[in-house]
Amino acid sequence: MPDKETLERAAEDKAEGKSPSTQAGEFVREEIEHVREGKHGARSARQAIAIGLSKARRAGVDLPAPKKGTASKRTREQATRDLRKGKSPSKKKSAKRSRATFQALKREGHSAASKTALSRQAHRAAAKRSAASRSRAAKKAAATRKK
């Protein structure tokens, strides 16, 4: 279950008309924070981000599943399931399954949330995008900056 503050920040972003990915960013930030403070670990920065996105979808953020060709079939199906869970109030969670996943994450390391690991992940993700796409994003970001 996400923290109350995270849910509030995501709701605030939605009210301000920000994109679903911005709203989901709050959940990713929370997950990175959990790994850093030692609540649990993660195998990689990608896993920590994926957990955050999954939590966001389950919390009702309208973040669509990745398009075909951008992620594996399994990932896309899981994202679709998470979205469906977020639309309808879920039934009681399986305590046994929750505990098992939590214990598995506890055994993972904490370096996945380091600045180096996150930077490496960001660079790899950016490298997959076209120069035009990166340029467009940079211009959009520059336009939002206070003068």
Q: Rounded distance, CA 8 to CA 50, Å?
A: 21
The tens digit of pLDDT for each residue in 72-129 reads 999 999 999 999 988 887 678 889 999 999 999 999 999 999 999 999 999 999 999 9
Q: Rounded distance, CA 60 to CA 1, Å?
A: 12
The pTM assigned to this predicted structure is: 0.86
The tens digit of pLDDT for each residue in 43-74 reads 999 999 999 999 999 999 999 999 998 889 99
What pLDDT was estimated at residue 112?
95
